[in-house]
Structure 1
Amino acid sequence: MSSRLLLRVVKNSKDLKLARRSLMLQNAEFRTCHGGAGGKRWMFTVVMATDTTSSLYQDMIDRKIIHPAQFKAEGDSTIKSVTKLKDGKLLEIEWNSGGKHRYHSIWLRHNCHCPDCKLVVSGQQTVAIETIPSSITVQDIDISDDKVMKMVWKEGDVTHKGYIPTDYLKCYRYSGNALAEKSEAENIKFSTDTAIPEIDFKDVMETDTGLYKWLKLLGERGLCLVKNVPTISNQIREVIERVCYIQHTIYGEIFEVKSVENASNAAYLSIGLRLHMDQMTYESAPGIQLLHCLKFGEEVEGGESVFADIHHIVDVFRREHPKEFEVLCRVPVTYEIMGYYKSSGREKPVHQQIHKPMIVTNQYGHVISVAYHENLTGALQAHEDDVEPFYDAYRLLVQSVHDWPYKFYHRMRPGDMVTFQNRRALHGRNSFINRGGGERLFQGGYMNIDEFKSMLIYLHNTIGDGSRLCRMGLNDMC
């Protein structure tokens, strides 16, 4: 745009804010001058506006509603052409990099990134959905800027002028097979490698690169052994707080795992523990568990830690027992724990109960979460026709877990901290016997899965390649 045209538009605008909006110059600098007959006042810019949209993408970054790193994996998001369909109710975008995707006008309007529609910093939407009628159409489109698609929406006499970054459009494409392809990309890449990946404590604590490596191993493999952790109390908290706050449960924040008499929890005995997930009685069970070995005397025989990937087990189970798999997806299980008495060893009385299926799939049939704890299953509350089919299916799944050939075994040593996805990596232990004065003492704690995933995505986008991460066992339907 020439400086002369810019001045004319500004002179004819009654309001500075209106002038900015009509020109889509969110960052332009204006000042007051005098001129014309009778000392008439008008506004003009001291900025030469060679391209009115060139500043829009930077403006969104300045407003902190987007970050270029979040779209790193999308590559070239330049739009080659846009075609209006159904009189503007639908747009078809063709990308320079190949491929076409369709977007509804109401979706585009709801995702407008202009200052009237997105809050600074948080990027929260301020447009009320009830103000956007289903009949809204896109009237005008401008793709002269490689980074931004400008639009004018129209409904009757009401118009709205706004824009959306093109990398946002490409990232959140949804037409055709786009969603199925994204869901497929998030499937876990299973491995039969039973060596537990390792990382040094100093790397995790002292550099963001080391922190990213640890979280990425946890995300991809489901477990990771942190070595050379100081054998002092509360190191669990130090490690967790590199990512987020520690998650509180009915066992407090940091709990000890050791053999005690008359324990209310099998974990505090010396018996073997069958493979399980912790805290299945929660609607949102802890996502990451950490167990820090403080003492493990040579006099203690047995007590090795055991792990298995339940998502891998269920993947095989589904192929071998499709009818039973369907039953476990459909019939809810009761998970229950109670402690009404002081001898339960908890700070407050407890009676948790929840009903949920063992296996949850998304709209594409991909397994997104599994809940598994044999000792916390309460009284089944299912339709009478489902009782026997459920127990037949459950028995088969339990047998599949017990017979699984790709288990991880590790005898913890003082200074080891095993970290694992509680919703993916089943954990247990072999029974142990103390032949002398030795002691087996662990400290444990939990990390919220959403906060873990948040930090991993941030580091993956800023340090890593930004590609889609695999599922982590939470109820994310994508």
Structure 2
Amino acid sequence: MLSCRHLIGRFLVRRQASTQARLASPGIVEIDEADGQRLKYPQVWLRDNCQCTECFHATTRARKSNWERGPLHVGAQRVSYDEQCQQLQVHWQDEHKSVYELQWLRERDFGDAARQKYLDEVYRPPVQLWGKTQFEEVRREFLYQNVLDRDDVLKAWLEALAVQGFALLKDAPDDENVARRLAERIGYIKRTTYGDVFEVKSKPNAGNYAYLMVPLPLHTDMPYYEYKAGINILHTLVQSESAGGANTLVDGFHVAAEMRRLYPQEFEVLRSVPVNWYDIGHDGDQARPFHSLWRAPVVCLDVDGQVVRINQNTTKRDSRFTVPIEQAVAWYEAYDRFLRLAHDEIVEFKTRPGDVFVFNNLRMLHGRTAYEDSPQNKRHLVGAYVDWDIIYSKLRTLRFPQAHE
């Protein structure tokens, strides 16, 4: 917290009218700004967030007070506003005093506009839903080396992944470490039962359906993980020279939104009925065996009722369906509707060697057309995962570097 002496030089009095603070009931402090704006704060919140050195450790940005001796029943005795220092001052009934900068309070306004601004600009960027006809409009491409070298390009790339859900990087080198470098450029790679990086190519005695040359149906990776991989980074080292091997892609959030709009009852079934997703096996002869299992619906919502995760993987849906029989029948009907809508929105494109296709694995349904290897041409991709917690953290450090000073 800056002292008033420092603040005098920063803030200039720009209005003839003055800002006023007052106690309002029940338990509310109101600030009437000179421009007519009114800010309101619960007294308990103000006391809980006192910024003095006794209550707050500025270096670690940590509250020091113990709630057991906390603010719930300690009311404000009087409040005032220092126009020169641009500060709200609160004198509490237990003789404690708190001082809050007006700009700090504005950023934490309880009004609708301020709360939404924080959610959209700091918490997570709003997603842009898209269907088949909008694919070329939302498609973003970046140069691989620029993502590695320039923070502004890294920021734009991560924003594209957060908003549109996918992006394509071009001109990556013929190097099996490309996916790893991109993951480490963001932060930390996600290690799974398939390793920290994984290869997608046809293999004898394949332990995963993706290692066959058959069509790969629309799916999300690892629905059997409670902490499902956030983004999938797929670097094309060798592309099939056959007619197949093309990527298929659908915005799963868009499909869910259409389900909610057109078929609300079936949407509710997909939102509420848990499905058993599983993966049993080992990846390679020397790998440890695994038995992954997670129960979750096809459509998952957050606390605000927004779609935040799609689970869909026909090859990894367990034959055990641990719900009442009448729910199972209704689920199959809703599931069929969801897949029909998804197939109507499929876009198809074929990456080339040096392309890196990156997409939101919580959102995008992806697949692949069938292809044929030859002795001289074996399709080969290298992939890696990164969790969204890590991605959003990196994006915020790029958007708000001053927050870490």
TM bucket (normalised to shorter chain) is: 0.7 to 0.9
Superposed CA deviations along residues 108-135 of structure 1, whole A, max 9, x for unmatched, are 2222222222224321222122222422
Q: Relative to 1, partners in 2 of residues 1:367 and 1:454: Cα closer, same or farther, differing over 3 Å?
A: same
Q: Relative to 1, partners in 2 of residues 1:181 and 1:53: Cα closer, same or farther, differing over 3 Å?
A: closer
Residue 137 of structure 1 corresponds to 75
Matches within 5 A, 1:72-151: 80-86=19-25, 89-95=27-33, 99-144=37-82, 148-151=87-90
Distance 1:178 1:382 in 2: 42
- Is 1:373 paired with 2:373? no
Residue 227 of structure 1 corresponds to 170
Distance 1:250 1:237 in 2: 16
Q: Relative to 1, partners in 2 of residues 1:146 and 1:377: Cα closer, same or farther, differing over 3 Å?
A: farther
Tell me how far 1:278 sits from its aligned partner.
0.9
- Is 1:288 paired with 2:226? no
Matches within 5 A, 1:198-347: 198-298=141-241, 300-339=242-281, 345=285, 347=287
Identity of aligned residues (%): 28
Matches within 5 A, 1:419-438: 419-434=358-373, 437-438=376-377
Residue 15 of structure 2 corresponds to none
CA contact (8 A) 2:277 2:293 kept: yes
Distance 1:214 1:181 in 2: 22
Distance 1:309 1:338 in 2: 28
Distance 2:210 2:42 in 1: 54
Compare CA radii of gyration and give the structure with the larger one.
1
Distance 2:31 2:258 in 1: 40
Tell me how far 1:308 sits from its aligned partner.
1.2
CA contact (8 A) 1:289 1:420 kept: yes
> 2:288 pairs with 327, 338, 348, which one?
348
Tell me how far 1:84 sits from its aligned partner.
1.4
Q: Relative to 1, partners in 2 of residues 1:364 and 1:236: Cα closer, same or farther, differing over 3 Å?
A: closer
Distance 2:238 2:91 in 1: 67
Residue 54 of structure 1 corresponds to 7
User: Which letter maps to 2:7?
Assistant: S
CA contact (8 A) 2:8 2:85 kept: no
Tell me how far 1:83 sits from its aligned partner.
3.1
Distance 1:351 1:400 in 2: 32
Aligned residues: 387
User: Which letter maps to 1:315?
Assistant: A
Per the alignment, in what secondary structure is the counterpart of residue 92 of structure 1? strand
Per the alignment, in what secondary structure is the counterpart of residue 342 of structure 2? helix
**TM-score, structure 2 normalization:** 0.86
Q: Relative to 1, partners in 2 of residues 1:174 and 1:377: Cα closer, same or farther, differing over 3 Å?
A: farther
Tell me how far 1:249 sits from its aligned partner.
0.7
Q: Relative to 1, partners in 2 of residues 1:170 and 1:343: Cα closer, same or farther, differing over 3 Å?
A: closer
Structure 1, unmatched stretches of 5+, are 1-23, 28-50, 59-78, 464-478
Distance 1:383 1:361 in 2: 22
Matches within 5 A, 1:377-392: 377-378=317-318, 379-392=320-333
Tell me how far 1:166 sits from its aligned partner.
3.3
Distance 1:213 1:264 in 2: 37
- Is 1:452 paired with 2:391? yes
- Is 1:400 paired with 2:341? yes
Tell me how far 1:146 sits from its aligned partner.
5.8
CA contact (8 A) 1:250 1:346 kept: no
Distance 1:236 1:388 in 2: 41
User: Which letter maps to 2:129?
Assistant: F
Per the alignment, in what secondary structure is the counterpart of residue 452 of structure 1? helix
Residue 357 of structure 2 corresponds to 418
User: Which letter maps to 1:305?
Assistant: N
